[in-house]
Structure 1
Amino acid sequence: MSNIFKHYLLLITILVFCAGCVNKRSSDNIYVRNENTLEKQPNLIFYLADDQDVYDYGCYGNEKVNTAAVDRLAKEGMLFTNAFTAQAICAPSRSQLFTGKYPLKNGCFANHTATRPNIKSITAQMKNLGYEVVLAGKSHVKPESVYQWDREWEPVPKKDVPRDYIPLDSIGAYFKTSKKPFCMFITSKYPHGKYFDVDNPNADDIKFYPFNEHKKNDNAYVKSKTGYYRSIEEDNTQIEGVLKLVDKYLDDNTLFIYSADHGVSGKFTVKDIGLKVPFVARWPKVIKPGTTSNQLIHYTDVLPTLMNIAGGKSIEDMDGNSFLPLLQGNDVEVNKYVYGVRTNQNILNSEVFPSRMIRDKRYKYIRNFNSLEVVEQNLTGKPNVDYFIKRGANTHKDEPHEELYDLQNDPFEQNNLAKNAELQGIKEQLKKDLFSWMKSQGDILDESLGNMPIITPKGKKGFKLDQDTPRRKIPDSIKNTLKKGDYIVIEHW
């Protein structure tokens, strides 16, 4: 055998070996492929606060609240100004993060309810890409068959504070000893009420906005709000603790995302004060510090993005899109529209008043399907059913059938332009696209009047319309009068 041929075989062997190394999927040497980089898989950390308005952060313009840890992340990474959830309520909001699907499609569109049992959630998707998937803190999602965390740590009690703490000791021990790439969701119980009890509350210590400035002289509101600010500060302390552990045990190839599941001031609504969320990302190896993105992103985009970063692709029936290009500095459109869902049933103030929303960067259209304007057309002729339909419309008597807002000039949605003659073309296009989306989601509502479904959970779980809740009383004559055929049973609840 000639020396040239020997050298040729040696070269081929080296090339084959190197190719095998690049494709190797071991516990400590897994690679991400995308258009711009070839990089070892990063660790992924997502910190989720609970019930905090996007307007209550220093980095989003509120100088009266202490969010130093989040402000630091914004300086060291990227701040998103147009990030949204589809539902301003805990379980439906979180289900989107974990499935890449809107609430109607994943099945969790009322609070305290379950994701459809046939869905492959983040636990299955990221495990398939070589990651260990961890939940540290509040869960609020089910069933266990869909969410099979590799490790899960409950919140831990702490003295002299109103809520349990995130499990910092377990998080630190895991960071120190982890041997493979991980995807960890750190889910805080703060600042969700019960809030701190603040002595001598002062309205001057609160930043007011058009949606709450009328409450400056409401002593109970001011006391609650100052307690809420104090709870935000307490969560800031927790975040600082996590960041110290990240800096101590993990390298620069760690993506850290901070968000809050929805705004408390707009809870249960489809207004931006409920659906617009804080969203900050730090990734020293990729994200340019101190940058801002104004592109529309959504909670359904999070799982496709994490899968993209891990070297995979999102599943075809997911609703979200990867925003990895934004993190890499490419200002591209991720979504033309984002959507919102309102389901007032199965909460303490349960009423029949569903809403849907569609929004682009500038304009927003809302359809309130059981407003007083149309309630007569929604009646069924069954007195016991119609009682609840009328009750829902009257409870929300100030909310019209249609709403249209120019968010560029009216970011707090104070001026309804639904009847503005010059904007009818925009309204009709948004309406058309909203109904098309609803159909694709398998919505229980459609554009026709006279379709006002009452929903109820299977079995005894949940808050049924014809029964009292701690916040809502039903007349004895109407209690327990809804029978099979009067409502839709949501089987997987």
Structure 2
Amino acid sequence: SIPVPNMEKLAQDGIRLDRCYVASPSCAPSRAVLLTGLMPARSGAEDNHSKPKPGTHSLIEDLKKAGYETACFGKVAHYGHGPDYGFDFIGPERPPNLGAVVDAWLAKRESTKPLCLFVGTHDPHVSWPVKTTFSGDALDLPPTFIDTPDTREHRALFAQAVRNLDSLLGRLRKISSERLGENTLFIHTSDHGSQWPFGKWNLYDYGTRVPFVAAWPGKIKPGSTSDAMVSWVDLLPTLIEVTGGTRPSGLDGKSFLPVLLGEKSTHRDRIFTTHSGDRQMNVYPIRAINDGDWKLIHNLHPEFAFTNHSDIDRLPRAGRYWTEWVEAAKTDDRAKAIVKRYYQRPEFELYQVGRDKWELENKIDAPEQAERVASMKKELAAWMKDQGDTGKIFAKPRPLDQPETWQDVPRKAEN
């Protein structure tokens, strides 16, 4: 129910991939996966705000070897991490007018090399805008939400952030056309799901399945779609193939350029996702395997409480609605079940994601799924071992049986 005309126009001009997944649904690990072509345990960037271990190869270097100038503006690497990846030029991370900054740089650019340009916007990350043109009452809410006045007020602010993102997308396309010409591959995607319950920091599709839309005149068939499964770990290997460069050996990522060009209809038959935590705000390691129809989630420590910034801080324009959710859970059975499901997870979850979009029906104990569960558990464990993934805990957890610890982090209030 949030209109995104510029994103839709990009899809009309190119291809929409309906099953694109991030490898890890928080900012720093996801972006490290993008820029290294390695999954979190292999790069060392596992928990949020972390960097790859020293000596980790950046795929930006391979784009440069292919003869391309590389530049980034806004939040591309995690904040402050840009210099670690070897970009030729790094613009400001949070300028007040990102589109104008990009346009001004392109107008002054003198290099005759082909360009690989990354632009990362803060929207729709929290904090959401102060004002909105949307009415919360007119917006749809996911079935995992509790319908309260503050939820709808915050949903309207989130919708405005999405609209702002879409407006920037439209401006960047115009700038690209005017400054770079038609022989340009233009891609739009996102580093994780939105910061709502069961989204960011979670391995449900609401946290890991992200938009991917690309246009390339004369190369990508306009108006095409694909349900090929691709991962963010594949993005830069794809760009390296586009540039004619050489993909380094030993990567987890592999190019899906044939999917974009309509030469292939499949890419991966498994999507693996990981989440390790976000400092003291979220201490909840999770791993998952998705075969396209079924997803198995392994909550490595079900004795921990799942928390994050939203329910701990409950700040305006971010997570203040949580106060109403907790209050509603005292008298409403549905609200109580949602809040309980948020904080308390079983060790394993199984969803038929091909039919159960919001992953509402956990079939882990269904007798007819016993063989599938055993097989997926074994495959996920073997993958973790192959990755060198030990399921490390990066901060002090909040025990599930000690709810008084779930909101014990003092934070500075935000207007």
TM over 0.5: yes
Does the CA-based 8 Å contact 1:131-1:182 persist in structure 2?
yes
Which residue pairs with 2:188 in the alignment?
258
Match of 1:241 among 171, 175, 181: 171
Per-residue CA deviations over 1:184-232 (Å, capped at 9, x if unaligned) read 11000111122123479643321222222x32xx111111110111111
List structure 1 segments (4+ residues) > 4 angstroms apart after TM superposition: 141-145, 394-397
Match of 2:346 among 400, 408, 414: 400
Does the CA-based 8 Å contact 1:119-1:146 persist in structure 2?
no
Per-residue CA deviations over 1:168-199 (Å, capped at 9, x if unaligned) read 33445426744111111100011112212347
The alignment status of 1:152 with 2:84, answered yes or no, reads no
After superposition, the Cα gap between the structure-2 partners of 1:196 and 1:427, relative to the gap in structure 1 and judged at 3 Å, is: same
Equivalent residues in 2 for 1:79-478 (5 A)? 79-138=16-75, 139-140=77-78, 146-155=84-93, 157-158=95-96, 165-174=97-106, 177=109, 178-198=111-131, 202-212=135-145, 214-215=146-147, 218-264=148-194, 265=196, 266-347=199-280, 349-351=281-283, 353-372=284-303, 398-445=344-391, 453-455=392-394, 472-473=407-408
Q: Report SS of the residue matched to 1:455.
A: coil
Percent identity between matched residues is 29
Q: What is the CA distance between 1:471 and its match in structure 2? A: 8.0
One-letter code of the match for 1:108?
A
CA distance in 2, matches of 1:259, 1:171: 20
Name the count of aligned residue pairs.
Answer: 364
After superposition, the Cα gap between the structure-2 partners of 1:145 and 1:228, relative to the gap in structure 1 and judged at 3 Å, is: closer
Q: Report SS of the residue matched to 1:81.
A: strand
Does the CA-based 8 Å contact 1:154-1:167 persist in structure 2?
no
Q: What is the CA distance between 1:403 and its match in structure 2? A: 0.6
After superposition, the Cα gap between the structure-2 partners of 1:224 and 1:471, relative to the gap in structure 1 and judged at 3 Å, is: farther
Structure 2's unaligned 5+ residue stretches are 305-339, 399-404, 411-415
Q: Which has the higher contact order (CA 8 A, sep 6+)?
A: 2
Structure 1's unaligned 5+ residue stretches are 1-63, 159-164, 374-393, 446-452, 457-463, 476-493
Q: What is the CA distance between 1:155 and its match in structure 2? A: 3.9
Q: Report SS of the residue matched to 1:294.
A: strand
Does the CA-based 8 Å contact 1:176-1:249 persist in structure 2?
no
Larger Cα-atom Rg: 1
Does the CA-based 8 Å contact 1:114-1:141 persist in structure 2?
no
After superposition, the Cα gap between the structure-2 partners of 1:220 and 1:319, relative to the gap in structure 1 and judged at 3 Å, is: same
Does the CA-based 8 Å contact 1:110-1:346 persist in structure 2?
yes
One-letter code of the match for 1:83?
C
TM superposition score normalised by structure 2: 0.81
Larger displacement relative to structure 2 (305-314 or 410-419): 305-314
After superposition, the Cα gap between the structure-2 partners of 1:324 and 1:157, relative to the gap in structure 1 and judged at 3 Å, is: closer
Give the alignment's Cα RMSD to 1 decimal: 2.5
CA distance in 2, matches of 1:107, 1:260: 21
After superposition, the Cα gap between the structure-2 partners of 1:184 and 1:291, relative to the gap in structure 1 and judged at 3 Å, is: same
Does the CA-based 8 Å contact 1:135-1:184 persist in structure 2?
yes
CA distance in 1, matches of 2:121, 2:299: 32
Q: What is the CA distance between 1:156 and its match in structure 2? A: 5.1
